[in-house]
Amino acid sequence: MISSILVFIVALSVLILVHELGHFLTARWMGIWVEEFGIGLPPRIFGKKIGSTIYSINLLPFGGFCRMHGEDSEDNTTNAEKSFLRKSKKARVLVTIAGVVMNLVLALVAFSIVYTFSGIPRPSGKVTILDVVASSPAQEVGLIAGDLVKKVEGKDIATSDEFVALLEEKKGTKVALEVERTEGDNVQTKKMKVVPRENPPENEGPLGVVVSSTEIYFPPIWQRPFYGVYYGSQDAFFWGKTIVGGLGTMLAGILKGNIPKDVSGPVGIFAITTEAYKVGFLSLLNFVGILSLNLAILNIVPFPALDGGRLFFIGIEAIFGRKVLPKVEASVNAVGMAVLVLLLLAITTYDIKRLIAAGSIDGFLQSFYK
């Protein structure tokens, strides 16, 4: 449990630090005075001033922060030339979106590393049985994991989709299968007949098998990073689209008065991080990539206190030709932050109740995915 907690803290800290590092580097590039760049959240344990910036280590071990001069108010501005609010709209937009961009880059790097070391999936041109469900028609006729399904009703098949489609057509009737089985150096062809179930148990399918028509390919070492970036980009796009779609569905439900039941906070993230950590480093890294995409997309939402909220105010300035009063923007952001904190507390309370009712992390995850 202690190692799981440490991994959880490190994972979240990396996500937030990378985000804040984006703000920090871009602010420096735009000539904005960064008063403090901190690891962890205050109170401060240690700080050292290098140049005009204080680099600090803070007590609460979650992420970090980048405090820019004149970020929220011009009242205490001592160096107007290096104040965030006095910079051009372009400079403020670049600084604001830099954190989101860094999280997108982190997700892409994470997915790319996973593919580089775990291999590249590609079509195998054959249907392999990966698992056989107990007491299923497949087990009754003697199918085992590792069998290659060559033909169904005399028809050659090369993909899982073809296999599933043929079984769906033949449910409730006898189907002739031809499979290839390898035992040591001996390769045998076996023919058998099986009746696919018309009403199989949930998630078992008519035959009761798990099949795949992909294989893991390991390119030459020098090519793997390039393959990793290519497939990592596809994963980033897939998860980004999934997250945006899920967020839209959740907001639509809220507007209709429905409380979303598949939303989780820190407790849920801790539970999934723990499970990913049990599987291995690459699984954990893949989950960090998904979290990083979540953080990027949520931060760009035009809600007060988020990066998207700041972009919204800059957009208003661009449309009307004048800035929203810093005090008004700061007040709106304060209200937005209060709403976010209350929402986080509500979600966390709900998660804790589910965790207690489930009695374990595994039980909690099962209830979460139902």
Q: Which residues are catalytic?
A: 20
Angle made by CA atoms 284, 287, 288, in degrees to the nearest 5: 85
Contacts of 44 (CB under 8 A, 6+ apart): 38, 56, 57, 58, 59
Coil, strand or helix at 167? helix
Contacts of 143 (CB under 8 A, 6+ apart): 129, 132, 177, 179, 192, 194, 207, 209
| Distant-in-sequence contacts of 101-104, Cβ < 8 A, 24+ apart | 101/22, 101/296, 102/18, 102/19, 102/21, 102/22, 103/15, 103/18, 103/19, 103/22, 103/292, 103/293, 103/295, 103/296, 103/299, 104/236, 104/292, 104/293, 104/296
Q: State both tokens at 231.
A: 């497939």
DSSP 51: T
The residues that bridge with 290 in the sheet, in sequence order, are: none
What end-to-end distance do the CA atoms of the chain give, in Å?
25
CA-CA-CA-CA torsion sign (51, 52, 53, 54): positive
Alpha-carbon distance of 260 to 263, in angstroms, equals 6
Alpha-carbon distance of 4 to 35, in angstroms, equals 34
DSSP E strands in 195-258: the ranges are 209-217
The residues that bridge with 210 in the sheet, in sequence order, are: 131
The residues that bridge with 186 in the sheet, in sequence order, are: 183
Alpha-carbon distance of 133 to 201, in angstroms, equals 11
DSSP 127: E
